[in-house]
Each structure stands twice: as structure tokens, then as C-alpha cells.
Amino acid sequence: MLPFLRVGICQRARHPPRVPGAPWIRRPRLPRLPTAINRLRVPAPAMVARMATDGGAENPARDPASNPKVVMIRGLVNDDATDGWEKCWEEGLTPWDLGQATPAVLQLVRTGSLPRGRVLVPGCGSGYDVVAIAGPERYVVGLDISTSAVEKAKELSSSLPNANQFTFMAADFFTWQPTEKFDLIFDYTFFCAIDPCLRPAWAQKIQEILKPDGELITLIYLISGQEGGPPYNTTVADYEQVLNPVGFKAFSIEDNELAVKPRKGNEKLGRWKRLSHKSLL
Ligand SMILES: C[S@@+](CC[C@H](N)C(=O)[O-])C[C@H]1O[C@@H](n2cnc3c(N)ncnc32)[C@H](O)[C@@H]1O
């Protein structure tokens, strides 16, 4: 589907069409992001903590909208998703960025529990997880819609010893056509960042670009009790709702004991395979 059409459908869902004859009501616009945000020196872990706690199931009473950075992200992304993510990266408005690979990924690599072959990390951001997964056994593609994110990821990683075992690409996950299918897709905080109306298309795309016996790993950031997004409310059932109809079944859903402190108790590691191919029992 063409990107503008996809975004249009989602925006129509959020903002129903005007009734003929009714007066135009201008949608309230959130203030433009001041470029001074670049100069805000908020330590990364504190920013992550605030975003994570505000949106976490641990504290569902607090809406992340109380965090001005989340309000700014929403203002940018809800207006125009593609442009909005780009602006977030340009302005350094990335409170989700851990500044390191997520410990669960490091553990999966260390324990040799990941499939070998071609791996995709959609919505890879700064690319820490891409670099962590890449090695002689796994070639990893990090994909992000934001060219600034991809530039940052390249800058951070181009001189690493495993640099020829991964690549970064700027493209829209929903319209991108890889030349080859993947053995593993790893999703961390991409599903909770996309508009929920895109979730069926997310599942469809995973099904389309994963090899029949490939594995999907979702590091699920459980979020509840909030209005709007991103990040959007996300439960295990939300994944099942879109993955089961395209043939995927979880063969393991476990608490992520290794979640970073602000997200502790709010993450689950889900491992999924296609039912039709092999019995998962
Ligand atoms: C919440 S961030 C998570 C980044 C990274 N996974 C991490 O954990 O740090 C979501 C990322 O998805 C990217 N993104 C949003 N929509 C996308 C799309 N349609 N295709 C590819 N990337 C997209 C954004 O630019 C952003 O970097």
C-alpha cells in the first residue's frame, strides 16, 4: 500500500471526516518543538526512566502526557508519522533510547539462543541491538524510517569489528521490499510506537518477509492505562490479536528479568513461529 494512503487511513480513524455543511474546526496543534530542546541536558537514563515509568503498567494511573517530551513526540508523530519521527531524531527527542543494547538481546546472543542467518530489526533507532546481534552467524539489517536515526546508527557503528556483518537502511517498514526473506525478526519498542491501526499491517508484513520456518522475537513493553500515543497501550493479547490470524503462535512468553530498571516488571520476551509450517508442541 502506498505510504500516504496508509497514513491517510490511520489519520481518518483518529480524525473522522468533516460532516458536509458543518463548520471547519481546526485541530488543535501542539506547539512546534523548540530547537532549544537540543540543548537540554537531561541525562539519558533519567529521560528513559520518566518515559518508561509514565507509560508503564507499574503506574497505570499516570498518563505519559504528563511528560512534556512525550507530548512533543505525540504532536510531531501524530501530525505526520514519517516527518514526525524524522523531526524527533533531528531534535534529539529520543527518550526511549537506552544508549546501549537491551540486556535481553545480549543474553540471547551469549547463550546462543538466536537463530542463525538473516536478521531484521525494524524501527532500529540508534542500532545498538543490530550491532549486538550481528556476527559471523548472523547478518543483520537495521531498518528505520528516519534518515537521521540511520545516520546516527552508522556513525556509532561503522568502525566496529563486526561492521561487515550488519547494515542500516532508511525505509518505511510497511512499504519496504527486501530482496531476501529473514530467518529472524527482532522487534523492540517498534510495535508500541506505531499507530495501533497499523498493527494488522505490521503482522502481515512480518508474515510476508519472514522465511516460513523463521522466528519472530518481540520484546514486549507492556503499557496500559493511557490515552493516545506513542507509546501506545500494548499487551501480549494485542500481539496475539494480530499475529494469530496470520498463522503465528507464541511458543514462549516469559517475563524479561533483564529489563532495564525503569522498565523492570513491564517487559515480556515473546518468541513466535508460524503454526502451519511445523508443530510447536
Ligand atoms: C520508540 S523508537 C524505538 C527505537 C529502538 N528500537 C530502540 O529500542 O531504541 C521507534 C522507532 O521506530 C521508527 N519508526 C517509526 N515508524 C517506522 C516505520 N514505519 N518504519 C520504520 N521505522 C519506523 C522511529 O523512527 C523510531 O526510531
Q: How confident is the model at residue 225 (pLDDT cuts 50, 70, 90)?
A: confident
Q: What pLDDT does residue 222 have?
A: 95
Please check whether residue 25 lies inside any domain of the structure: no
Average pLDDT over residues 53-79: 69
Distance 49 CA to ligand 1 centre (A): 18
Closest ligand 1 atom to 174 CA = 19
CATH number, position 102: 3.40.50.150
Q: Which long-range contacts (CB under 8 A, 24 or more apart) does 155-162 make?
A: 156/126, 156/127, 156/128, 156/131, 157/127, 157/130, 157/131, 160/131, 162/131, 162/134, 162/135
Distance 201 CA to ligand 1 centre (A): 15
β-pairing, 182-188 with 210-221?
parallel
Q: Is residue 98 part of a domain?
A: yes
Ligand 1 midpoint to CA 10 (Å):
17
Asked if residue 83 belongs to a domain, the reply is yes
pLDDT at 50: 36
Domain extent, residue 189, equals 78-274
List pLDDT tens digits, range 249-279.
999 999 999 999 989 999 999 999 998 655 5
Backbone φ and ψ of 220, nearest 5°: -90, 120
Identify the band that residue 10 occupies on the pLDDT scale cut at 50, 70 and 90. Answer: low
Domain contains 233: yes
Flag whether 55 is in a domain: no
Residue 16 forms part of a structural domain: no
- What is the tally of structural domains in the chain? 1
- Which mutation among 129, 168, 173, 190 tests ligand 1's pocket best, with the greatest number of atoms within 8 A of CB? 190
Asked if residue 248 has its Cβ within 6 Å of ligand 1, the reply is: no
Model confidence over 164-199: pLDDT tens digits? 999 999 999 999 999 999 999 999 999 999 999 999
**Does residue 138 surpass a pLDDT of 50?**
yes
CA dihedral 138, 280, 234, 176 (to 10 degrees): 40
Is residue 70 assigned to a domain?
A: no
> Is cis: bond before 231, omega within 30 of 0?
yes
The pLDDT of residue 217 is above 60: yes
**Residue 181 lies inside a defined structural domain of this protein:** yes
Task: Establish whether residue 149 lines the binding site of ligand 1, counting it when its CB lies within 6 angstroms of any ligand atom.
Answer: yes
Q: What is the pLDDT of residue 192?
A: 97
Instruction: Decide: 214 in ligand 1 pocket, CB within 6 A.
Output: no
Mean pLDDT (whole number) for 119-141? 98
